Chain A
Amino acid sequence: MPTPAPRSRHWQWLLVLPTVAPLLTPFANRLEPTLIGVPFFFWYQIACAVFAIVIITAVYLATREDNRE
């Protein structure tokens, strides 16, 4: 019976970051700075995707004990 340790579940709060970051479009709605010619508005979302990979992986690793029987 998995009974997650309370401490490790706090890591899940980190997931708020990749959830909220892509929604900050009112602040990301700008052309500059461009990245290899792509306006900020567009590459910001790609950066958010990379950020999501990093954060979710980190939370997965930190809470992995939950999955061990």
Chain B
Amino acid sequence: MSDRHVEVGVFLALMAVVVVLGFGAARWRASEDPQTLEEWGVGGRSFGNWVTWFLIGGSMYSAYTFIAVPALTYGVGAIGYFAVPFAIVTTPLTFLFTTRAWSVARRHGFVTHSEFASARFGSPGLGAAVAVTGILATMPYVAVQLLALQAVLRTVGFGGEWPMLAAVAVVSICTFRSGLRAPALLSVVKDILMAWMLLTAVLMVAMYGGWDRTFRVAGEHFAATPSPADGLLLPQVGHLGFLTLVIGSALAVFAYPHALVGMLAAKDRATVRRNAAALPVYCIALALMALLGFFALSRGVTPVDGDLNTVIPRLIHEYFPSWSAGIAYAGLSVAALIPAAVMSIAAANAFTRSLFRPYLRPDATPATEARVSRWVSLIVKFGAAALILAVDPAYSVELQLIGGVVILQTIPAVFIGLLTGWFHRVGLIAGLLAGLGVGVGMLYDIPRADGTGHFGGSSWSVSFLGFGPGTTVYVGVVALAVNLVVAVGLTLVLRASGVAAGVDATHPDDYLADAGDAKLKRLDGLIDGLPRKPLSVDGRGAHTAGAVRTREAEPALRSGSAAPESLSQSGPGPGSGSGSVPSVPVPRDAEGFPRELGAFSREASSFSRDSSWLPPDSGWPPRGGSGRPPGDEPDDIRATTTR
């Protein structure tokens, strides 16, 4: 048996194991009601430390990262290393911000950023804008994962399009069946394979002259190229571009819809925090991968057809023992498929929760939502595959670049919004649009390397400002700055002129809630698991009963703010959602059945349209400068909502 056969055989055998695991995942740690969107989309929110860690690592540190980052260091040297500092910066931010996101999402039953934005700023329109932005940015991100997969498959010897399509079909079916459980389980497999690959790679480096020789030869190579931008160190004019790229990329991580999915599936706040502490381990793995780019360069590895993405697969093929190469290829392939699955789930959730339910089918049942999400996730994956087939691969990379700039524009709503509800919804929407306009305009303005055309990168030249020729800045950060200026400016103007802000449906306490909290959604399908018509769908009765018990046990802490219930403007009947009150997380409908909460952001904002006297959000301090006359708020309500 030749080396080639061993390589391909090991690869195929491992992929077969992966498929079997993916299909079996539905039964893994399953709860009773897999039909609900929460169960399917965020794994029932029951993942502990280890599973969460693997899942986050699986979705954030994707094949695109593991293949594109070494490709960059191979191509330009130090600048390509930006991914490492940016990954490290995200970890302390995760510790602080993601725990807040977890708590507020658990209290209100959000599965997406867009729902949070909608509830926080009392604006379904903002939620829809965030959802659309997220979906647009996610599509090309999925596409570049598939491109990375294609680069691996091409090196293994499965050229052409059908192997990639086959892999997408298989992962789609896995996801369709098992929801988030499939990627979570496969993340564990992927990390074992990737750990093996890194170990082999480090041994290879040691056997072939060590890092000394690697960096000496790579340094000589960069010195010989005419380009002043490449090298083992950043060029003097490169610092601004490098730092803005690091900061912009780090923030973007928190804005992509899929970032939230993995963390929301965590069991409690402590799980999120412990994960933040352990995530830098992935940064070290990423750094080693980046250094492998230099190793490939020093060994004279040449990419297939000039496609830099094939540098790492080629390196594996040439330097790994054949069976180890098979393992590495399988690891990289799974690493491409997991994020594709998680991202498509996240994009589908955003569509279902912030577009489908508020605007298309307000009376959708949880089962309908779960079904719609599944199909949308399929559309996202095959849409991304079609994107690759239909357009030049280079074009997908450009779209991904634009996607990064685009997604950054939701930062004020979904990230800063975790700290403060001060912004006015109109200001946020205007800022988002301004940021998008400026960002895409600047990207259009960047010529390609040959000095012609458009969309040639994300580094916009600022040499006209006197920084010296060659100084650039990352477009996303500039666009975000414009976005923030517009959002802050408009918020000040609107508040001064007394235009009613949206009602913040969240409470400061919501950001600190932890597992064990009475008002927290429970794991077994509380959020979307509650049928609008109790007992109507197969065996849901048990859940409803459990939910009722939970609610009854809950102290009537904010009963004072029940007054606005009389304002309910939607019609009567089960599930029509009367009596939803922004600051009461567990409202009941007319018949006294607990209403599920996801729908409540929708109503919270319809309140805000016609009843500006309602209590503003109670209380995160910066909100103080509300344009609303102070006397407008009934004291008793304020007293109960601001504890």
Contact = CB atoms under 8 A, between A and B. Distances in A.
Contact of B243 (A1, A23, A34): A23
Given A36-B211, A67-B268, A49 B232 contact: no
Interface in A18-33: 18-19, 21-23, 25-26, 29-31
Indicate the member of B96, B273, B513 with the most A CB atoms within 10 Å.
Answer: B273
B89 A53 contact: no
Interface of B, secondary structure class, is: helix
B88 A52 contact: yes
B239 A23 contact: no
A60 B233 contact: no
13 contacts: A15-B96, A26-B243, A30-B233, A38-B291, A39-B215, A39-B232, A42-B291, A45-B81, A46-B287, A49-B287, A52-B92, A56-B277, A60-B276
Contact of A45 (B88, B93, B512): B88
Given A1-B509, A45-B287, A39 B233 contact: yes
A19 B93 contact: yes
B212 A22 contact: no
Contacts of B95: 15, 56, 59-60
Given A12-B96, A23-B246, A60-B274, 13 more contacts: A2-B512, A19-B89, A19-B93, A22-B85, A29-B233, A29-B234, A37-B213, A38-B211, A41-B234, A45-B84, A49-B283, A56-B95, A67-B270
B517 A1 contact: yes
A34 B291 CA distance: 14
Interface string B512-528: 11101100000000000
A53 B278 CA distance: 6
Contact of A49 (B242, B280, B290, B513): B280
Interface residues of B, number: 47
Interface of B: 78, 81, 84-86, 88-89, 91-93, 95-96, 210-215, 232-234, 239, 242-243, 246-247, 268-270, 273-274, 276-278, 280-281, 283-284, 287, 290-291, 509, 512-514, 516-517
B232 A31 contact: yes
B92 A37 contact: no
Given A39-B215, A67-B269, A56 B210 contact: no
Contact of B88 (A4, A22, A30, A57): A22
A60 B89 contact: no
A22 B246 contact: yes
A41 B89 contact: no
Contact of B91 (A12, A45, A46, A56): A56
Contacts of A2: 512-514, 517
B554 to A, nearest CB: 11
A7 B57 CA distance: 32
B282 to A, nearest CB: 9
Given A19-B93, A64-B270, A29 B239 contact: yes
A20 B26 CA distance: 41
Instruction: Please indicate which of the listed interface residues B86, B91, B270 has the most CB atoms of chain A within 10 Å of its own CB.
Output: B91
A4 B214 CA distance: 50
Nearest to A43: B287
A62 B179 CA distance: 36
Interface size class of A (residues with CB under 8 A): 35 or more
A10 to B, nearest CB: 13
Contacts of B78: 29, 41
Contact of A37 (B211, B242, B246, B281): B211
Contacts of B278: 53
Given A15-B95, A25-B239, A45-B88, A53 B210 contact: no
A46 B284 contact: yes
Per CB-CB distance, the 5 closest pairs between chain A and chain B, nearest first, are A37-B211, A37-B212, A22-B85, A56-B277, A15-B92
A21 to B, nearest CB: 8
A46 to B, nearest CB: 5
A57 B498 CA distance: 46
Nearest to B240: A26
A61 to B, nearest CB: 9
Nearest to A69: B516
A25 B242 CA distance: 9
A22 B516 contact: no
Contacts of A29: 78, 233-234, 239
B106 to A, nearest CB: 13
A53 B92 contact: no
A38 to B, nearest CB: 5
Given A42-B291, A46-B284, A18 B88 contact: yes
Contacts of B243: 23, 25-26
A55 B213 contact: no
B88 A37 contact: no
Given A2-B514, A67-B514, A56 B85 contact: no
Nearest to A18: B92
B214 A37 contact: yes
A4 to B, nearest CB: 7
Contact of B85 (A3, A37, A45, A64): A45
A18 B234 CA distance: 21
A41 B92 contact: no
Contacts of B92: 15-16, 18-19, 52, 55-56
Given A1-B509, A52-B283, A67-B268, A22 B210 contact: no
A12 to B, nearest CB: 7
Nearest to A36: B211
Contacts of B239: 25-26, 29
B509 to A, nearest CB: 7
Contacts of B91: 18, 52, 56
Nearest to B291: A42
Nearest to A21: B88
A21 B88 CA distance: 9
A1 to B, nearest CB: 7
Contacts of A55: 92
A51 to B, nearest CB: 8
Nearest to A20: B89
A65 B274 CA distance: 14
Contacts of B280: 49-50, 52-53, 56
Contact of A53 (B84, B232, B277, B513): B277
Given A56-B277, A67-B270, A25 B284 contact: no
Contacts of B210: 36-37
A49 B280 CA distance: 5
B430 to A, nearest CB: 30
